[in-house]
Amino acid sequence: MYYGSQLVSMKNKTDSIKHSSAWHNVAAHASKMKDIHMSDLFDRDPSRFDNFSIKLKPFLLDYSKNLITHETMSLLATLAKASKIEQWRNKMFAGERINSTENRAVLHTALRNRSSKPLHIDGINITEEIQNSLNKMKLFSDRIRQGLWKGYSGKRITDVVNIGVGGSNLGPQMVTEALKQYSDNSVNVHYVSNVDGTQIANILRPLNPENVLFIISSKTFTTTETMTNANTAMKWLTASSFDQSAIAKHFVAVSANKENAISFGIDKDNIFDMWDWVGGRFSLWSAIGLPIAIDLGFERFIELLEGAHELDQHFCNAPIQENAPIILALLSIWNCTFLGAQSQAILPYDQSLHMLSAYMQQAEMESNGKSVNWDGVDIDYNTVPSIWGGLGIDGQHAFYQYLHQSSNVVPADFIGSKKSITPVQDHHETLMANFFAQTQALMQGVNEQQVREDLKAKGRTEEYIDKIAPHKVHKGNRPTNTILMQQISPRTLGSLIALYENKIFVQGIILQICSFDQWGVELGKGLANKIQKELKMGTLNDSHDSSTKGLISCYMEQ
Ligand code: F6P
């Protein structure tokens, strides 16, 4: 097997970052910082906001509500330097094979690089390939949107159904949802990801096959769930047309596996490129973003790419201490690895971002949810948190109790917009008042004395105050980052996603994790395939544990 020179140099040579003096210094500093309260840091430094915030064109990042000082940030920057983060970043952008376990380059950033400078991978100029793919996307999306692409009966396409899962679904769907206001609704775009037949059945029920185009999005073209849904879609179409030739007019694919797509029945001209140097969860910038281009128009899709590219430029050029993705990564490592947080919440205060936390779950957890380093050696420090969250306001009436008073500290990213894309009376002000209030409350908290004074002022009895006061104490000191967007648009959204993608890359490098494979999803997949055969045959394999056997037998009784 061929190993690139990069891989060879990494093999057996990883000195654990934990043994570096940079790491030791951060750890020693963390044990001192644990006893400090953030509100004291704010009292001591009136320019704390100016010191710990970054203004970029698409958004302002305020990270002052973290348990940090100048010393913290300087020690963390030294840790980033000790990890050779800048060199690794340059290797990624240059197309070196930094995906060491799969021996692949990691070049989703090239998909949004609008320059025409050639970049060669295995002797192929991928800049040219990307441009060809974009040209094909433009032609196709224009034809669909203008009604020039006709179905088998000569009717225009009114509905596009994207069938894909994970990275072949979450990115485009999240963006489609976020940018709904920018759609002219010339075509309705739907997403099918779940193998639970309820989803595809509900989506297809009101549709007329004559007007429907299916996009089968699968990098590998082997994913069981996607193939099952694709087969169902194919049967649904051919049941209506009674003609196999209809398939070419109603099915296109986005895949790196052309052979499988063709044997599935898709016309070779209807296959859009994907490449092994694009990870599924980073692929919305490729033709996996085709439904976005169809929904919004190709020009809007390009704006999304441009916004991401602008953020990449910032990532490549800003010094560490002013570099938004590096700072976010360092803060995550600070909060989780050094201060012990186990999870992180993503809390958009913008309805359009309602799928962001689901998207971020895959992006960060599938990338960095690992426990061995590049050499396969067990890691003995906390790596990345579990990611969860949801829309801010809804969360306030659901899980924020936990954020404010639970014994677990959950660092949170608050994401809001200065301008609403759908202004309705004074709704935006109410929304944003909550947005600002929550991070202040999480940081400051309220101590027992304040609670007692407040209850006294309200005329409560001493007895009542003694009983209730401890329940009303909020310890505060809960770290948050605030990302205040100008307004959600294709360009600003592109920047926001690239901010997180680059942050995830930095986390992986500092924590010495291979961020670009996902072996952890294989074990369950393999077992499911075996069990599916048993369910089909109605025979139970003896090798299962008693719980699994009991459950399958019970299921088979029906
Ligand atoms: O769930 C694992 C995974 O491989 C993801 O990484 C990927 O985004 C998804 O499945 C879909 O894969 P494909 O695009 O090959 O169907």
Count Cβ atoms below 10 Å from residue 533 Cβ, excluding itself: 10
Q: Which residue has tokens 């599924």?
A: 280
Ligand 1 atom having least distance to the Cα of 217: 14
- The catalytic position among 24, 155, 418, 525 is 525
State pLDDT tens for residues 265-274. Answer: 999 999 999 9
For ligand 1, atom 16, name the residue with the nearest CA: 218
Which of 168, 215, 515 is the best mutation target for the ligand 1 pocket, counting ligand atoms within 8 Å of the beta carbon and taking the most?
A: 168
- The catalytic position among 366, 370, 428, 503 is 366
- The catalytic position among 397, 458, 471, 536 is 397
Alpha helices in 215-297 (DSSP H): 224-241, 247-250, 258-264, 290-296
Q: Which residues line ligand 1 (CB under 6 A)?
A: 165-168, 218-220, 223, 226, 280-281, 366, 518, 521
For ligand 1, atom 2, name the residue with the nearest CA: 521
Q: Where are the beta strands (DSSP E) in 373-524?
A: 386-389, 412-417, 480-485
Residues of the chain with pLDDT under 70: 1-13
Give the Å distance between the CA of 140 and the centre of ligand 1. 24
Paired tokens of 172: 């485009």
Q: At 301, which amino acid appears?
A: F
Q: How far apart are CA 193 and CA 169, in angstroms?
A: 7
Please list the residues that pair with 388 across neighbouring strands: 345
pLDDT confidence of residue 12: 52
Contact status, residue 356 vs residue 82, Cβ threshold 8 Å: no
pLDDT confidence of residue 114: 87
Q: How far apart are CA 91 and CA 105, in angstroms?
A: 9
Torsion sign over Cα 4, 108, 125, 129:
positive
Give the Å distance between the CA of 1 and the centre of ligand 1. 24
pLDDT confidence of residue 208: 97
Whether 397 is a known active-site residue: answer: yes
pLDDT confidence of residue 13: 66
Whether 366 is a known active-site residue: answer: yes
Q: How far apart are CA 552 and CA 187, in angstroms?
A: 43
Q: Which residue has tokens 């989703």?
A: 108
Please list the residues that pair with 104 across neighbouring strands: 99
Contact status, residue 108 vs residue 274, Cβ threshold 8 Å: no
Q: How far apart are CA 456 and CA 426, in angstroms?
A: 35
Q: Hey, is 217 helix, strand or coil? A: strand
Q: How far apart are CA 459 and CA 354, in angstroms?
A: 42
pLDDT confidence of residue 467: 98
